[in-house]
Amino acid sequence: MAANRASPQQTPHLLFPLPCLPVKNRAMATGRLYINSDAVLSNWRALDAMTDCETGAVVKANGYGTGAISAAHNLVGIGVRSFFVADAQEGALLRKPLGPDACIYVFSGHMSGDTDLIRLNDLVPLLNSQDQITRHFRDLPDAPFGIQLDTGMNRLGLEPEAWQAVRETVLRRGPLLLMSHLACADSPDHSMNAQQLQVFKDVTDGIDVPRSLAATGGILLGQEYHFDLTRPGIGLFGGLPFRDARHVVRLDLPVIQVRDVAPGETVGYGNTWTATRASRIATVAGGYADGLVRLMGPKIRLFDGQTPCPVVGRISMDMIGVDVTDLAEPPEALTILGPQQRVDTLADAAQTIGYEILTSLGGRYTRSYSS
Ligand SMILES: *Cc1c(COP(=O)(O)O)cnc(C)c1O
């Protein structure tokens, strides 16, 4: 296995599973993203402990930005058997690290250009329309598949009438899974949850095929929503709605330059910040091209240990100005994401959700994995 790890087909920054990068002794002008693999595993175990059924793992979008290969490799190591990705390409990248026995489900189903990837990597498309069902039965008649049902979200899946029309034909072919997705599971009191649950039961009750409805939010809604297999994603990587999740990612931005700024001088594009006292300003590497969107600037801080330092001026494409006047010494790097300021705090500052912060984590960061 180890010999395959550096295979050139794999994205080069996805090194796993060890903290193997020489970032400590060499000053590099890229952010350092530390991913705590143990925290991912303990989040999976905590979510698994909330149900009596099988718990899968959703590792789409490069494992929510943290590195899908590393996450998948570690999760399969503790016995996770069912993985979910968005498309066949993502699934193909995972077959080798997961080994031959893991089941890799593909949410987007079987698109016309995906047939070879599905066959060669033994992926399980979650067919979502009559067209996909026809294509799959015609092009890969003996290959496994699941069915995606729309229960009200109106995003992907067969609607109840369409399902009714094909149900007998499909069931004769032995689907591995019947699944649907909740639109409002992060709001436990939303009436949509019970409504979708009822529709899901109406269209699947009495069928002897494993069922799946719950992602992270659905697991937290309680036992009725669990069925045979759950599909947590964000909860594994430390984001809401899993409030008790262990923190997974830390992002440190190296200080490239430090300067003294006199009262009345300005910093950054558009002169939006003016020094009101003699100030020391650190310029750190990392900006909106790395997913640190401009909108968050005024509401976030960077940390030297526990000491917060405000952002000054606008976030640039590759740099951020930070007021380090109150630090005894300007540090080598400042933490922008970590236990001091979590994914969902950054998300609030950017008027978005933790999912978007994680999946926007920049490709330029040096990623390293630790336990
Ligand atoms: C992304 C996704 C999941 C995982 O959702 P989380 O909220 O991240 O747990 C599960 N099922 C489907 C269909 C998805 O698209």
Is the CB–ligand 1 distance for residue 291 below 6 Å? no
Residues 299 and 280 in one domain: yes
Burial of residue 108 (CB within 10 Å: 0-12, 13-18, 19+) is buried
Number of structural domains found in the chain: 2
Q: Using CA atoms, how far apart are residues 198 and 226, in angstroms rounded to an integer?
A: 13
Rounded average pLDDT over 232-261: 97
pLDDT tier, 165 (very low <50, low <70, confident <90, very high otherwise): very high
Q: pLDDT tens-digit profile of 286-332?
A: 999 999 999 999 999 999 999 999 999 999 999 999 999 999 998 99
Confidence at residue 17, expressed as pLDDT on a 0 to 100 scale: 43
Is the CB–ligand 1 distance for residue 126 below 6 Å? no
Q: Tokens in use for 152?
A: 């009200």
Q: Is the pLDDT of residue 5 over 80?
A: no
Of 237, 268, 292, which residue sits at a domain end? 237
Tell me whether strands 82-85 and 211-212 are parallel, antiparallel or unpaired.
unpaired
* Coil, strand or helix at 221: helix
pTM (two decimals): 0.91
Residues 204 and 67 in one domain: yes
Of 237, 272, 299, which residue sits at a domain end? 237
Residues 14 and 95 in one domain: no
Q: Is the pLDDT of residue 147 over 80?
A: yes
Contact status, residue 316 vs residue 269, Cβ threshold 8 Å: yes
Q: Using CA atoms, how far apart are residues 136 and 32, in angstroms rounded to an integer?
A: 43
Residue nearest to atom 12 of ligand 1 (CA): 181
Residues 160 and 48 in one domain: yes
Percentage of the chain beyond pLDDT 70 is 93
Q: pLDDT tens-digit profile of 201-236?
A: 999 999 999 999 999 999 999 999 999 999 999 999
Confidence at residue 2, expressed as pLDDT on a 0 to 100 scale: 36
CA atoms 48, 348, 37, 361: torsion sign: positive
Confidence at residue 3, expressed as pLDDT on a 0 to 100 scale: 36
Q: pLDDT tens-digit profile of 62-83?
A: 999 999 999 999 999 999 999 9
**Number of other CB atoms surrounding residue 317 within 10 Å:** 12
Average predicted confidence (pLDDT) for the chain: 93
CA distances from 279 to 258, 265, 336 (A): 10, 10, 20
Residues 87 and 186 in one domain: yes
Confidence at residue 216, expressed as pLDDT on a 0 to 100 scale: 98
Confidence at residue 1, expressed as pLDDT on a 0 to 100 scale: 34
Q: Using CA atoms, how far apart are residues 341 and 343, in angstroms rounded to an integer?
A: 7
β-bridge partners, 335? 252, 303
Confidence at residue 24, expressed as pLDDT on a 0 to 100 scale: 52
Tokens 């000053």, residue? 27
Residue 242 lies in a domain: no
Confidence at residue 148, expressed as pLDDT on a 0 to 100 scale: 98
Confidence at residue 26, expressed as pLDDT on a 0 to 100 scale: 62
User: Buried b vs exposed e over 289-306: b needs ≥16 C-beta within 10 Å?
Assistant: ebbbbeebbeebbbbbee
Active-site residue flag, 269: yes
Question: Catalytic residue among 60, 64, 225, 365, which?
Answer: 60
Alpha helix segments (H runs only) across the chain: 37-49, 60-64, 68-77, 88-98, 115-121, 130-139, 160-172, 191-204, 216-221, 343-349, 354-359
Domain extent, residue 46, equals 37-237
Active-site residue flag, 60: yes
Is the CB–ligand 1 distance for residue 215 below 6 Å? yes
Residues 212 and 326 in one domain: no
CATH number where 353 lies:
2.40.37.10
Residue 120 lies in a domain: yes
β-bridge partners, 82? 103
Residues 25 and 42 in one domain: no
Q: Is the pLDDT of residue 54 over 50?
A: yes
Contact status, residue 128 vs residue 145, Cβ threshold 8 Å: no
Residue 129 lies in a domain: yes
Confidence at residue 370, expressed as pLDDT on a 0 to 100 scale: 87
CATH number where 196 lies:
3.20.20.10
Is the CB–ligand 1 distance for residue 92 below 6 Å? no
Of 192, 212, 237, which residue sits at a domain end? 237
Residues 6+ apart with CB under 8 A from 49: none
* Coil, strand or helix at 264: coil
